Amino acid sequence: MVNRSPLSPAINPVEENRGGLIGKPMNRVDGPLKVTGRAKYSYEYRGLKDTAYGFIVGAGIGKGRISGIDTSRAEAAPRVLAVLTYQNAPKQAPPHPRENGANRFDRSEPFLFSPDVRYYGEPVALVIAETYEAARHAAGLVEVRYVKDAQAKFDLAASQSQAYKPKGVNAGMKTDTAEGDFDGAFAAAPVKIDVTYHLPHEHNMPMEPHATQAVWDGDQLTLYSGQQIAATAHSSIAKTLQIPPERVRVVTPFIGGGFGSKVPLHAQAVLAALGAKVVRRPVKVAQTRPQMFANTNHRPECLQRMRLGATKDGVLTAIAHDVWSQTTPFDEFIEQTAAFSRVMYAAPNRAHRHWGVILDLPSSDIMRAPGEEPGSVAQECAMDELAVALDMDPIELRIKNEPKDDPETHLPFSSRSLVECYREGARRFGWSTRPKRPATLRDGRWLVGYGVASAMFPTYMRPSAAAVRVNADGTAVVKMDMTDIGTGSYTVLTQVAAESLGLAPEKVTVELGDSKLPKSSGSGGSFGAASAGSATLLACEHVRAQIAQLATKDRRSPLAGADAATIALRDGHVVAGDKSEPLSAVLSRLAPAGVEGKGEHQGAQQPAKYSSHVFGAQFAEVGVDIDSGEIRVRRMLGVFGSGRILNPKTARSQLIGGMIMGIGAGLTEESIVDPRDGSFVNHDLAEYHVPVNADVPQIDAICLEEQEPYANPLGIKGLGEVGIVGVAAALANAVYNATGIRVRKFPITLDKVLGGLPDTGST
C-alpha cells in the first residue's frame, strides 16, 4: 500500500533520509486529547470572563419582509442583556454581490442588516443573556410580524422552465463544454440511453454544530470558531465588520467535522462578533441542529438528464449531461455536477451543461465532493443502464471506454489507475459471483444484488506557507494556520516534518488552526494534505539547508568541508556520507536559539500540463427485503489510486467515512422542503437520516500503489472527498441487480421499490 513516488529533485530530504515515517499507519497524534476530552472545540473555551450567550431567532416565513418587530418582552425577561435586530445591529458591510465565484469564501456576510427575509430560518434577531437558557427562553418572546411574498418559489421541478445560464460553475469550472456533434451522433447511435435522475437537497450535518465565541479586547476581535479555512474566515469577518484584518484573529484548532459546511462564515460567527461588541462581553453562539438546516450549507436539489449513445459492442459515441440545480436570488452557487462526466469516459461527441434554478431557499453550497458526487450518480447509473441494454458486464463496459487522455482538455493524465482499481476490486469483491440477471439471487427473505460505479475527484492545490523551528534540544515545532477537521492533518504533518528532519515523531509538535500563523490552504477540496504537506516539506528543507551551512563551515564539526547539498538529517544526527554529528551538538554550538525554516508552496502549476485526479472503483452488495422493500447494504469495497499515501490508517478512515456518507446519498438523506414556506421540515437527525457504521456491516477501502510524479512535491493526490463519489450509484445499481427495479429519484427508500418487487410469496 505504501507508495514511493519520485520527489522533485530540488527537494529530496524525505527520499534521501527515509526515517520510514511517511507511509506508516501512525496513530493520530491528537487522539489522546480527543478521547480524554482535552481537545477544545469552539464552544468549549472556558475561562473567558463574563461570557454571555446568544440565541438566534430565525424567520418564520420563507420570503417577504418584517413589518413589525417587538423585542420588549424579550428585553424584559430575566438575565437578558440585549436583543439585536436589523433596527439596532452594529453597521456591517453590504452583502456580497450575488455572483462572486472565485471569492466565494472571502467576502462580506452581514446578518440583521435589512427587514427583508430571503429564506425560512434566516436570522431576524439575536437574544443575548447571561445564560444559554435565559437567551433561548427570551428568543421565544421576540414578536415578529411579516408580510409574505406570495410569489415565493420553493419547488425545483416547477421552476425548471425558468432556469438560466450561469457565467460559470463552482470551482472555477466552465458552465458548458462540448466537442464534436452530440445531437448527430446520438441520433445515429444504435444503442441509446436517455434518462433523468432527480437528487434531493442534502445537508452536510457534521457532528459538531456550528459554534463561535467572540471576544473583543478593545478593538481587537478574537473568534473561536470551527472553520475549515482560517484565512478566508479571517478576511471574511474583517470585511463584514469593516475592520482591518490585523485586528481580527480566528482560532480553530479542533473541528468536529465540516464536509464543506465550515468553509463559509456562517450566521453564528457574525452574530457572536456583533453581540460581543454590543454587550461588551465575550459572547458564545451555537446553532441548534434545526437551525443548521437553514443557516449552514446544503447540497442543492438537482435534475440531471443523461444521454449516452453507443455502438452495439459498447463503444460510447455520444455523451450529454445536462444539469439543473437550485440556487438563490441573493447568492449564486451552481454545483459543478456535469464536471464528473467530463473526465470519465471517452466519446468523440459530447456536451456537459449546467443551468441554475432560482428558488427562495437558503443558498446551496459545497458539500463533500461538490459536483463530483451528484454527477457520478447520473453518469454511473446511466452506464449501468447502458450495460443492461447492451447485455454487457458493467465493469467491462467502463474499461472499454477508458479514455487515452482527459476527454475535455486532452491533457495527459498525470496518473490514472481506474482500470486497475476495477480489476483489483473485482478480484477482492468476488464480482464473478454477481447474479447475471436481476432478481435471481436470494438469501432467505433478501433479494441480493451487486453494483459498481466509478469514483473521481480532481487533485487541487492551494498556496500554503509553513514555519518550522528546530530547537537546540532536538525538538521541532511546525506552525501554520492549516486546520484538522477530523481528517488527520496534525498526524500527517507530524510525519512529514519528523521524517524530513530526521527526528522521532514525539520530538515534533504541530500547531495549527490560528490565523496568526503562516497562511495555508486550510481544509477543503481534498487539497489539505498536499498543500500543507508540501509547505511543511519545503520549510523542513529550508531548515536542513541552514543546518548544512552551519555544520560544513565549522572547523570543529566532523562535517567541516563537506558539500552542504549532501548533508542529510537522520536519526537525530546531521549526516554526510559516513560522517555525522548529533543535531543537538551542532545546534547548541552554532545556533543555540535554534533554526527556523520557512516554506511556501504556490499551489498548482499554471497552465496545467497534466490532468490530475484520484480515480476509484466502488463495489456494493445490497439486500432488499422481498416483502417490505427494506434495503440493507451488506458489503462495500472501494479501491482507489491516489498517488502516495502519507498514512494508510488516516487515509482508510477518510475513505471509509466518505463511503459511509455515500450510503446517505444513495439510500437515506433527503432534506424535504415544505411547499408552503420553504422550510426544511425534517430538520433534525431523527428525521434526516445520516448513515452510521452500523449501516454497512462489511466495508473496506484500499489504495493501489500509484506513482504520481507531477501533482506536488509529496506525490499525493488527496482523498478527503473521493470516498463518497460513486457510492450512491453503486448502491442504485446493486438495487437494480437485486430487484430489477431502476430507481431514478434519490434517495432509494423502500417505498420506491415496494410496488415492483417480484411476487414470490413470503418466506
DSSP codes joined into one string, 64-117: EEEEEEE-HHHHHSTTEEEEE-TTTSPP-PPPPPS--GGGTTSS----S--SEE
Nearer to ligand MOS by Cβ, of 64 and 524: the residue is: 524
Give least dist CB 721 to ligand MOS, A.
6
Nearer to ligand MOS by Cβ, of 372 and 708: the residue is: 372
- The dihedral sign for the CA sequence 378, 381, 384, 385: negative
Q: Is 260 in the site for ligand MOS (CB under 6 A)?
A: yes
- For residue 249, the cross-strand partners are 222
Contacts of residue 119, Cβ cutoff 8 Å, sequence gap at least 6: 59, 62, 63, 294, 328, 360, 361, 362, 363, 678
Which part of the chain contacts ligand MOS (CB under 6 A), choosing from 56-64, 100-108, 181-189, 367-375? 367-375
Number of residues in contact with ligand MOS, rule: CB under 6 A? 11
Q: Which of 626, 628, 630, 689 is nearest to 663 (CA)?
A: 689
Give least dist CB 104 to ligand MOS, A.
11
Q: Is 19 in the site for ligand MOS (CB under 6 A)?
A: no
Residue appearing with cell numbers 456518507? 661
Residue among 202, 332, 541, 721 flagged as catalytic: 721
Nearer to ligand MOS by Cβ, of 493 and 738: the residue is: 493
Note if 706 is an active site residue: no
Give least dist CB 254 to ligand MOS, A.
16
Give least dist CB 722 to ligand MOS, A.
11
Helix (H) or strand (E) holding 390: helix 372-390
How many other β-carbons are positioned within 10 Å of the β-carbon of residue 516?
Answer: 14
Which part of the chain contacts ligand MOS (CB under 6 A), choosing from 45-53, 351-359, 362-370, 682-690? 362-370
Residue appearing with cell numbers 477518510? 654
Q: Which of residues 607-636 bind ligand MOS (CB under 6 A)?
A: none
Main-chain dihedrals φ then ψ at residue 190, nearest 5 degrees: -70, -30
Give least dist CB 742 to ligand MOS, A.
29
Q: Which of residues 551-610 bind ligand MOS (CB under 6 A)?
A: none
Show the beta-strand stretches assigned E in 472-566: 476-479, 508-511
Residues 62, 152 contacting (CB under 8 angstroms): yes
Q: Is 367 in the site for ligand MOS (CB under 6 A)?
A: yes
Residues 240, 271 contacting (CB under 8 angstroms): no
Q: Residue 414 and residue 461: Cα distance in Å, rounded? A: 14
Nearer to ligand MOS by Cβ, of 204 and 495: the residue is: 204
Q: Is 173 in the site for ligand MOS (CB under 6 A)?
A: no
Find the binder of ligand MOS among 228, 454, 459, 612 (CB under 6 A): 228
Q: Which of residues 421-480 bind ligand MOS (CB under 6 A)?
A: none
Strand 143-148 versus strand 220-225 pairing type: unpaired
Closest CB to ligand MOS: residue number? 260
Which part of the chain contacts ligand MOS (CB under 6 A), choosing from 258-266, 461-469, 620-628, 706-714? 258-266
Q: Is 524 in the site for ligand MOS (CB under 6 A)?
A: yes
Nearer to ligand MOS by Cβ, of 259 and 680: the residue is: 259
Peptide bond into 747 cis (omega under 30): yes
Q: Which of 195, 204, 194, 458 is nearest to 339 (CA)?
A: 458
Q: Is 368 in the site for ligand MOS (CB under 6 A)?
A: yes
Give least dist CB 524 to ligand MOS, A.
3
Largest Cα–Cα separation, the chain: 91
Find the binder of ligand MOS among 250, 366, 466, 562 (CB under 6 A): 366
Nearer to ligand MOS by Cβ, of 201 and 507: the residue is: 201
Residues 51, 282 contacting (CB under 8 angstroms): yes
Cell of 156: 425545483
Cell of 360: 427562495
Give least dist CB 525 to ligand MOS, A.
4
Cell of 102: 472565485
Which part of the chain contacts ligand MOS (CB under 6 A), choosing from 283-291, 365-373, 396-404, 444-452? 365-373
- Residue ranges of alpha helices (H) inside 405-473 are 418-429
Find the binder of ligand MOS among 123, 505, 525, 533 (CB under 6 A): 525
Question: For residue 746, which amino acid is it?
Answer: F
What is residue 562's three-state secondary structure? coil
Q: Residue 643 and residue 650: Cα distance in Å, rounded? A: 15
Q: Which of residues 723-762 bind ligand MOS (CB under 6 A)?
A: none
Q: Is 264 in the site for ligand MOS (CB under 6 A)?
A: no
Which part of the chain contacts ligand MOS (CB under 6 A), choosing from 9-17, 219-227, 364-372, 754-762? 364-372
Which part of the chain contacts ligand MOS (CB under 6 A), choosing from 150-158, 256-264, 322-330, 476-484? 256-264
Q: Is 370 in the site for ligand MOS (CB under 6 A)?
A: yes
Give least dist CB 368 to ligand MOS, A.
5
Residue appearing with cell numbers 445591529? 89
DSSP 8-state code for residue 665? I
Residues 744, 198 contacting (CB under 8 angstroms): yes
Q: Is 253 in the site for ligand MOS (CB under 6 A)?
A: no
Give least dist CB 390 to ligand MOS, A.
35
Nearer to ligand MOS by Cβ, of 153 and 368: the residue is: 368
Residues that bind ligand MOS (CB under 6 A): 228, 258-260, 263, 366-368, 370, 524-525
Q: Which positions are catalytic?
A: 721
